[in-house]
Amino acid sequence: VTTRVLYDFTAEPGNNELSVREGETITITNQNIGGGWIEAKNSRGEVGLVPEDYIEVWSVKCSFLMLFTSNGNDPWAVFDSNASGGFSNNWAAQPEGTETGETSSSAWHSGGHGHPQAYQGPGNNSNKPMVLIAISFYMMRVRIYTVFQGGEAGPVWAYPDYQLDCVVADPKKGTKMYGLKSYIEYQVTPTTTNKPVNHRYKHFDWLYERLLDKYGSAIPIPCLPDKQVTGRFEEEFIKMRMERLQGWMTRMCRHPVVSSSEVFQLFLSYKDEKDWKMGKRKAEKDETVEVMIFSTIEPEGLPDLDLIEVEQKCEQFNRFTRAMDDGVKDLLTIGNEHWKRCTGPLPKEYQRIGKAFQNLSSVFNSSGYEGEATLTDALTAAGKTYEDIAQMVAEQPKKDLHFLMETNNEYKGLLGCFPDTIGVHKAAIEKVKEADKLVATGKITTSEKITMSKRASTMSYALQAEMNHFHSNRIYDYNRVMQQYLEQQGKFYEMVKCGNNSKSSRAFHNVGRC
């Protein structure tokens, strides 16, 4: 991709940066650096990093036409395409003006993102309820492939060779406004750079809003852990929030579309405060949001889908997610009740049993009868063991139930997003169903109907890719958490069986012999 430099940029020594001059032409060699930087080569053959805001892409442009209803309430927007009604696989090679007949000096051209210019549809028929809006902008394509697993074929996202991950750790208290306002800052370290960056909760919240705005129509973006008004600086709360932020970030890192996005990479690897602020401003001006995100999705060499068959799969998945949502909520309710019993009345019951054994041992000791010392010692030790078991019961939920509950809390949030995502897809299918009537009444052309069908097909590929992503993650997560839960349960009952210490163990054996 060839770009034009907008401003002079002087490299700092030792930072692998590239000095460029205003008006100079450079070639992008790597767009995936993140943090508001790209790697480029100048005319002298030198390669280095240049701020994205200092350059302008000019030799690669894609133009699309969005199709809206006249009242502006169309829940999905379909984009115009080449003459055949479909995306060109060689999208990056399309010359300027191919789609719209406009040149680079057109009023539609706006450097990075275009601003819509409305115009009347073909034929200028006042009875048509459609308005065509032209959009010009630059984009990277998100590709979808079909793979075969276990004999079943299905669309999947194009996953990277390297799985991104990050660690949220080392919370520290910070202040501003001369100490009048305090906050907790977390250290976030991505596996790609191993260089930590610092973020407050409000930064995570900003990232969530950006991801929801950009991808929410195609990808479920689960909520962050709840905000807290009081107790924000208590150690236990900070630990819990950090753990939940870690879970949320891990889930975002796993998603190939979200994790490779510019805004997510900025969050993980900005260079300094200036870089962070510039990246934020750029992300907040991003116009490829909501349903426009489907314009960046390209099924790789895949045919148009049978929308009736897709609708059936969609409904099946919808039923499954609703049922799973009920099951997850039920498990959370029962788990919370069990946790309360384990930390409340249940240990007290074991303590009462233990105290009763020790009281009985005291009574036996008062008899003065010789030869029962072994029995009374065993009863006393058994009573103390029950007190130990009471403590074990109270501590056990943190060892096993905690991870099970946290995983189900994550899935509760994730499942709550699917109705909206599925709703966008259903609205697209309904639009396609109405297309025949609109063609028959002359409100849209046959070419526009084909375009609608192809856009709906792309949305269906995206939904099925997301369904497969969800199922594969679900299987992995529940395999892992159930294995951990049952292992900890096994250790717990093994400790109860053997006694919490060797003395208690001998006491149980002595009771048996007596």
Q: Whole domain around residue 207: which residue ranges?
A: 162-272
pLDDT at 321: 95
pLDDT at 102: 35
Are 182 and 38 within one domain?
no
Quote the mean pLDDT of the chain.
77
User: How confident is residue 145, by pLDDT bands cut at 50, 70 and 90?
Assistant: low
Are 311 and 268 within one domain?
no
> Biggest alpha carbon distance in the chain?
113
Of 272, 296, 322, the residue at which a domain comes to its end is 272
Instruction: Tell me how far the alpha carbon of residue 356 is from its chain's centroid.
Output: 53
pLDDT at 190: 95
User: How confident is residue 42, by pLDDT bands cut at 50, 70 and 90?
Assistant: confident
Tell me if 294 is assigned to some domain. Answer: no
Closest CA to 348 of 386, 382, 381, 380: 386
pLDDT at 380 exceeding the cut of 90:
yes
Are 264 and 343 within one domain?
no
pLDDT at 239 exceeding the cut of 90:
yes
Lowest mean pLDDT among 21-30, 130-139, 269-278: 130-139
Tell me if 73 is assigned to some domain. Answer: no
Residues 6 or more apart whose CB falls under 8 angstroms from that of 9 comprise: 17, 18, 19, 20, 50, 51, 54
Classify 286 as helix, strand or coil.
Answer: coil
Are 265 and 314 within one domain?
no
CATH code of the domain containing 12: 2.30.30.40
pLDDT at 402: 95
Is pTM beyond 0.75 here? no
Q: How many domains does the chain have?
A: 3
DSSP character string of 456-509: HHHHHHHHHHHHHHHHHHHHHHHHHHHHHHHHHHHHHHHHHHH-SSHHHHHHHH
Q: What CA–CA distance (Å, rounded) separates 183 from 173?
A: 6
Q: What CA–CA distance (Å, rounded) separates 2 from 40?
A: 9
Q: What CA–CA distance (Å, rounded) separates 23 from 39?
A: 18
- Whether residue 241 is annotated as binding a ligand: the answer is yes
Are 258 and 319 within one domain?
no
Instruction: Tell me how far the alpha carbon of residue 281 is from its chain's centroid.
Output: 22
Are 471 and 412 within one domain?
yes
Tell me if 109 is assigned to some domain. Answer: no
Rounded to 5°, angle at Cα 204 from 199 and 208: 155
Per-residue pLDDT reduced to its tens digit, 444-463: 898 888 888 888 888 998 99
Of 19, 38, 56, the residue at which a domain comes to its end is 56
Are 239 and 322 within one domain?
no
pLDDT at 250: 96
Lowest mean pLDDT among 11-20, 191-200, 365-374: 11-20
Per-residue pLDDT reduced to its tens digit, 392-434: 999 999 999 999 999 999 999 999 999 999 999 999 888 888 9
Are 191 and 315 within one domain?
no
Tell me if 152 is assigned to some domain. Answer: no
Are 376 and 513 within one domain?
yes
CATH code of the domain containing 414: 1.20.1270.60
Are 263 and 316 within one domain?
no
CB distance 393 to 350 below 8 Å:
yes
Classify 279 as helix, strand or coil.
Answer: helix
Q: What CA–CA distance (Å, rounded) separates 503 from 385?
A: 9
pLDDT at 38: 85
Tell me if 287 is assigned to some domain. Answer: no
CATH code of the domain containing 166: 3.30.1520.10
Are 232 and 320 within one domain?
no
pLDDT at 208: 96
- Whether residue 4 is annotated as binding a ligand: the answer is no
Higher pLDDT, 390 or 162: 390
- Whether residue 202 is annotated as binding a ligand: the answer is yes
Tell me if 298 is assigned to some domain. Answer: no
Q: What CA–CA distance (Å, rounded) separates 97 from 79?
A: 16
Tell me if 154 is assigned to some domain. Answer: no
DSSP state of 119: E
Are 312 and 459 within one domain?
yes
Per-residue pLDDT reduced to its tens digit, 250-308: 999 999 999 999 999 999 999 998 999 999 999 999 888 888 888 888 776 778 888 88
Tell me if 349 is assigned to some domain. Answer: yes
